[in-house]
Amino acid sequence: MTDSSETYKCGCGELELHHYDQDNAAFAEEWSPSLISNLGPTNAYGVIDFYRGVKPLNKSAEYVRISDDDTPESVIKLMNKYWKIFDSRVPDLCISVLADLDSKHLDGKQTASFQKGLVMAVQSNKTFLITHGLNAGIVPIVGKAVLMIENNLLRPHCIGISPWGYVRSHYNLVKSEYSDVKSHVEYGTSDVINPKEPISLNEDHTNFVLVDNGMRNRYNLSDVSKYRDEVESLIKLSSKKGGCGVPVLTIVYGGGFDVVESVAKRVESGMPIIICGSTGRAADILQRILHFKILNPSLHGFSEDQTTELRFSLEELITECGDDKMSKWTVEYGIKLLKNVKNSDGNIKCVNLNDEYGYRNLDEAIASTLVHNSTD
C-alpha cells in the first residue's frame, strides 16, 4: 500500500489522507503502477485567477488537466480551437525553455542577461513560449520577461506544460461537474520551495496544460517531459502533417537528467538547441559535449578521460534526484544519450551570458536560428 521509505505516503507519492478510501477498499491490495489510472472526463479546467496572500494579482490564465494518455493532437486542438493562441497572429517561432527547479543557485548577472536577451528576441519576432510552468528556477524570470513587453499586441502567450501531481494545491483547481468551461477558480501562488514538496504555478503564464500520469509529489516520476517533447514535436510539423508549422527552438538553462534526455530526442528530430553556458547541471554537461566536439570532430564518441568526466557528472545528476527518478536513468544510458548529441549534425550552439553583452549573445543566437530554421 505504501512506499516503504515514507510510510505516510501511497506508492504513487500521495498522502493517504488525500486518497479516496471507502471502507479501505482503495488499499485492499498492494500498490502497483497499474492501480494509478482512473480515466474519465477532466474535472479541472477553465480560468485561474491568481492571488498572493489575501491580495488579488489581477492576473489570469486558462488551464486544463489532461491525462498522459491523451494525444498531443488534442493539446494542439485545444491551443487552436479553444485558447485561440494562433488567432490574432500566427507565430514565427516557439521558444521552449528547458530548465530545473533550482532557484538557490541562480546567478544574478546570468538571469539578467537571459531576461533581457529573451525580451529583445520576443519583441523582434512573433513568438510564444513553453516552460514547465512552476514557480521555480529560471521560469519566473521567463514570466517576468513576458510582462516587460508593454504592447499587449506583441506580448506572447506563455504556456506551462506542468505535472499535475507536482502542482501545489492542485486539488483547488478541481471543479464540480456542472461548472462552465470558462468559469473561474481562485488560486494562491507562492514563492515557497521545500524539498520534495509540490510547487506553485507561476502567475505570469497565460495558459497551463496540467499533465496527470497518476504520480503525486514527485516531479521526475510524473514524466511530464516526455509528453511535452511529443507536443512540441507536433508544433513544429507542417499543418499538412497535423502540426502547427511553427519552428521550435529549445533553450537549455541548467536542468536535470530529464533535460539531457529531452535534448537528445530533440537533436535527433532536427530541433535547434541553444545551451546557456555555465548555468549548471545539464547545461554544463552539454556545454562540455560541444567543447569535446570542437576538440576532435572526427572522434565518434568520447576519449577515456572524457568518458570518466561525464560519468562523474551524470552520477551527480542522478544522485540529486534521490528516489524521484525514472528507472532507466543510469550512467550508461546517459553516456549513450550524450554520444548521440555529440555525433549528431544538429544545430546546437552555446551562448555565454556572463560577458558584458551576454543578452546580445542570446538575442543573436535566437535570431540566427529563426533565419536558418524551417519546419518539416
Q: How does pLDDT run across 54-97, given as a tens digit for each residue?
A: 999 999 999 999 999 999 999 999 998 889 887 767 799 999 99
* 58 and 26 together in one domain: no
Helices (H) and strands (E) in the chain, counts: 9, 12
Least confident range of 18-27, 222-231, 323-332? 18-27
Q: What is the CATH number of the domain that holds 85?
A: 3.40.50.450
Beta strands in the chain (DSSP E): 2-3, 6-10, 45-52, 55-67, 93-99, 127-131, 158-163, 184-188, 207-212, 248-253, 273-276, 348-351
* 18 and 67 together in one domain: no
* 20 and 148 together in one domain: no
Q: In degrees rounded to 5, what are phi and psi of residue 272?
A: -75, 145
Cell numbers 521545500 label which residue? Answer: 194
* 12 and 102 together in one domain: no
* 57 and 154 together in one domain: yes
* 258 and 150 together in one domain: yes
CA dist list (Å): 192 to 180, 259, 347: 31, 23, 37
pLDDT at 10 over 60: no
Report the number of distinct structural domains present in the chain.
Answer: 2
* 12 and 88 together in one domain: no
Q: In degrees rounded to 5, what are phi and psi of residue 310?
A: -65, -35
* 130 and 29 together in one domain: no
Residue type (1 letter), 208: F
Residue type (1 letter), 90: V
Chain-wide mean pLDDT for the chain?
88
Helix (H) or strand (E) holding 195: none
pLDDT at 326 over 80: yes
* 27 and 170 together in one domain: no
Domain residues for the domain of 5 are: 1-36
Q: Which residue has better confidence, 346 or 366?
A: 366
* 166 and 252 together in one domain: yes
* 8 and 135 together in one domain: no
* 328 and 195 together in one domain: yes
